[in-house]
Chain A
């Protein structure tokens, strides 16, 4: 049972436009969410996170939105740059007692930003 789902395996956008990457989760115990970026032949690197007490977190060109009622989060990149081309992974965890804090990842979305 896949608890974190990224239903779009790939996304292609033009440089300068907005990239929107989506993620859905099924476990209502998840209360902390993260986005990772992965270039080929490298390990994933942390990008941005959001706690369930917020519905938005912004860091420069990157904004993560969380809709708890829909169990949905999204990553917006504005403006998109060719260097943003990578695989983006959504991850979730529960910080509540007994959860043991394990990160659960989605399968990733390959973003291609065309010059």
Chain B
């Protein structure tokens, strides 16, 4: 596709369940970001993948959060044993990272933990 695609667009889950959020970046983009935006808050950095380098996981809020990027393309963000405070919009972005190009965002996945 032409843009960053995220699925599902909405996810409601019960507290304690695991969830997986998917991101399909723009083809050829080597950099991939995950952010989340809680209600009334700004963009919170979670994790950053750049090519074959070790990912920057410094933003992951707890060890319940993990992400992987397979084959340098699709990424999955996994939240284990979800808590109500995990409810947020999870945004994925990708960029070509050559000469300072901008990152393109997907529409996000709205996660609600009940």
**Closest CB of chain B to A64's CB: distance in Å?**
13
Within 8 A of B (CB), among A55-74: none
Cα–Cα distance between A102 and B48 once the two chains are bound (Å): 7
A45 CB contacts on chain B under 8 angstroms: 105
In the complex, per-residue mask of A67-105: 1 if CB is within 8 Å of any chain B CB, else 0:
000000000000000000000010101010000111111
A42 CB contacts on chain B under 8 angstroms: 107-108
Instruction: State the interface size on chain A (CB cutoff 8 A).
Output: 25
Cα–Cα distance between A101 and B45 once the two chains are bound (Å): 14
B contact set with A: CB distance below 8 Å? 4, 31, 33, 35, 41-43, 45, 48, 50, 53, 56, 91, 93, 95, 97, 99-100, 102-108
Could you list 8 examples of A-B contacts with CB < 8 Å?
A43-B91, A44-B105, A45-B105, A46-B104, A100-B50, A100-B53, A101-B95, A105-B45
Contact of A32 among B41, B100, B108 (CB under 8 A): B100
Q: Are A100 and B105 in contact (CB under 8 A)?
A: no
Is A111 interfacial (CB 8 A cutoff)?
Answer: no
Q: Are B100 and A49 in contact (CB under 8 A)?
A: yes
B41 CB contacts on chain A under 8 angstroms: 107
